[in-house]
Amino acid sequence: MKKEYWDVTDEQVIEKTGKKISEWIKILDKFKAAEKKSNEVVAHLQSEYNVPRYWARTLTTHYIKSKE
């Protein structure tokens, strides 16, 4: 996967989701996203936070990459 797909700035994420990356990291930690399948995490962001699919996938990938 190309780094451009998940290496995003706070400004981009705020514009598209209304929250900073650090806020999403806390939300995903609380959801225990590291223990779940990526599709489950994407679905959670879409259903619980109305994050558009592209950005839900981007945030999920960013989260996973940050934990490596």
- Total of domains in the chain: 1
Domain annotation covers residue 5: no
Give the pLDDT band (50/70/90) at residue 65: confident
More confident site: 34 or 7: 34
Domain that holds residue 48: 10-67
Domain annotation covers residue 2: no
Domain annotation covers residue 19: yes
More confident site: 9 or 67: 9
Summary mean pLDDT of the chain: 92
Domain annotation covers residue 29: yes
| Model confidence pLDDT, tens digit, residues 15-48 | 999 999 999 999 999 999 999 999 999 999 999 9
Q: Where does the chain have alpha helices with state H?
A: 10-17, 21-30, 38-49, 53-67
**pLDDT of 1 higher than 60:** no
CA distance between the termini of the chain: 15
